Amino acid sequence: MDLRQLKGKIVSGIFWSSLQLLISRVFAFIIKLVLAKLLFPEQFGLVGMATVFTSFVQVFNDLGIGAALVQRKEENLREEHYHTAFWTGVIWAIGVYLLIVLAVAPLAAIFYKEPLLESIIPIISLGVLCSPVNLVHKAQLTKQMSFKKLTVIENSASIVSGILAVGLAFMGAGVWALVFNTVASVVIAMPLFFNATKWLPKFQWSKLAFKDVFGFGIYTTGTNFFTVLMQNLDYLLIGKLLSASALGVYTLAFVLTDTFRSQLTKMINKVMYPVYGQNQDDLITLKLIYFRVVKYISICLYPIMTFLIVLGEPFILSFFGAKWIGSILPLKILAFSVMIHLLVNSHAILLRGLGKARVEMRMQFVKSLLYLPSIAVGIYWFGIVGAAWAYVLNKVLEVVIAQYYLKKFVNITLSDLFVAISPPLLASLIAFIVTFLLYTSGIHFVVCTIALAISYGLTIWLMMRAELIKQLKGLKNMAKKKAEKSVV
């Protein structure tokens, strides 16, 4: 595939993945808003407690087999690889689910002194049983870069499950509305994936095929474990040392900042992972693509984080109410941590695409060793605000560690990355100053939001006008060629 075809595939993939993210995130945000008004922080905290424990077990759910199928070149895959992956994932998931029901659920209830968790966790964990069923289907669609089909499936499942969850909340289901919303989308998506690929498993299992995918997947699983450890340790300690209410407040702040970043990154990575795998021998192309990924993700996220830092207080009070006032300061701090993280965003998936799964796992292990003591000290002494500041510290350390590996394997320096994101950095600074001056002068926060968007957008346009015009022309040409091809 030449560079022009590759660009077309990337643009198409990002368009459909962006559409999927836009619809699912906007809809999920509306659902969270409605549920936050109907429910209470304590109920959000209970689900957060359950999710912490299940996340540690679910990380071993597919043994990294899905990632291995995507990373391997098509000529190195046989049909038996897919059948072996399917049955391995299903059988393994049954064992993991039994472990959750028989051991994890009772342990979590005892750990948090919340008996209801023993009932909540087995229901939330039904996703463990369902997700491996579509492991092969997702891998096939991702390798084919059929992101339009993935978008339709995931959005359909998200919308239906969200509507049903709100209906349950209105009927007084309480915490069970949140539990249902967590599980339903996975279950609803199952038949849609089968219909999209038409692939059906056969009763085949190959030891050789298993070794092929498991050798790569085990390191991916190790990486995921350390990632989940860092993502959930703050939830674990806040729920244990503070309260369910404090965890619910912190969860909202996290959902609006780092979770939002990770969702956008996940969407981009879904597109870029097969691209990195296909071009793993061409470092010049990889660097060019990676710089653009970092730049455009930063352009999208920097104004949102700037908004939360300057206008987080009126936003929370207006949309969620005074009962969520405790989330305002952690929200602002976590937004700042996201801006730091964007310096090396998507670095892990780049290394995985290069086939450096073992290096990726080692990197996550080192980061987790540094993360554990700082987050524990922060929460113990300063509560959820301390957790947020510990997160900032660890994002700084993550930039340093990631930069070491980027320099070693792809020859990307920190100065290269600063140059790549200089437009959104400068635009955010100007937007911050403009918005802060207006808001402290007593201007309504909606007007300040508009001023932030205009000042940020204008700065980006002035700094990147030529590049943006070139990109728009390229998109128009590709759309024109696609239209002509469809007519023929």
Q: DSSP string covering 331-353, please?
A: HHHHHHHHHHHGGGTTHHHHHHH
* pTM (two decimals): 0.70
Query: And the tokens for 351?
Result: 């290394």
pLDDT of residue 296: 87
pLDDT at position 229 over 80: no
pLDDT of residue 32: 62
Q: Give the rounded distance of the alpha carbon of 249 from its chain centre.
A: 20
Report how far apart, in Å, the C-alpha atoms of 447 and of each of 263, 305, 333, 450, 451 are. 28, 17, 23, 5, 6
Q: CA-CA distance, 276 to 348, in Å (whole number)? A: 11
Q: CA-CA distance, 233 to 247, in Å (whole number)? A: 12
Rounded to 5 degrees, φ, ψ at 306 are -65, -40
Q: CA-CA distance, 216 to 208, in Å (whole number)? A: 13
Please tell me what DSSP assigns to residue 162: H
For the chain, report the end-to-end CA distance as a whole number of angstroms.
Answer: 22
Q: CA-CA distance, 57 to 268, in Å (whole number)? A: 26
The domain spans of the chain are 3-420
Q: CA-CA distance, 220 to 225, in Å (whole number)? A: 9
Is residue 340 within 8 Å of 375, Cβ to Cβ?
no
pLDDT of residue 482: 56
User: In this predicted structure, which of 161-170, 301-310, 313-322, 475-484 has the lowest mean pLDDT?
Assistant: 475-484
The three-class DSSP label of residue 2 is: coil
Nearest Cα to Cα of residue 225 among 367, 377, 109: 367
Q: CA-CA distance, 81 to 217, in Å (whole number)? A: 13
Tokens 């005074």 locate to 322
Is residue 447 within 8 Å of 438, Cβ to Cβ?
yes
pLDDT of residue 289: 84
Please tell me what DSSP assigns to residue 368: H
pLDDT at position 43 over 90: no
pLDDT at position 388 over 90: yes
pLDDT digits (tens, 9 = 90+) for 83-135: 887 888 788 888 888 888 898 889 888 988 888 888 888 888 887 777 777 77
Q: CA-CA distance, 201 to 83, in Å (whole number)? A: 6
pLDDT of residue 311: 96
Is residue 96 within 8 Å of 127, Cβ to Cβ?
no
Q: CA-CA distance, 186 to 71, in Å (whole number)? A: 24
| Percent of the chain with pLDDT strictly greater than 90 | 22
Query: And the tokens for 368?
Result: 């987790």
Query: Which DSSP string corresponds to 3-66?
Result: HHHHHHHHHHHHHHHHHHHHHHHHHHHHHHHHHHHHS-HHHHHHHHHHHHHHHHHHTTSSTTHH
Rounded to 5 degrees, φ, ψ at 205 are -145, 125
pLDDT digits (tens, 9 = 90+) for 251-283: 888 888 887 787 777 777 766 666 676 777 778
Q: CA-CA distance, 366 to 361, in Å (whole number)? A: 9
Averaged confidence pLDDT in the chain? 80
> What is the sign of the dihedral through the CA atoms of 291, 267, 230 and 67?
negative
pLDDT digits (tens, 9 = 90+) for 199-220: 888 887 777 777 766 666 566 6
Q: How many CA atoms lie within 13 A of 480 on its CB side?
A: 6
Query: Which DSSP string corresponds to 103-159?
Result: IIHHHHHHHHT-TTHHHHHHHHTHHHHHGGGGHHHHHHHHHTT-HHHHHHHHHHHHH
Inter-axis angle of helices 135-143 and 147-170, nearest 10: 140
pLDDT of residue 162: 79
pLDDT at position 188 over 60: yes
Nearest Cα to Cα of residue 53 among 185, 240, 189: 240
Query: And the tokens for 367?
Result: 């980061």
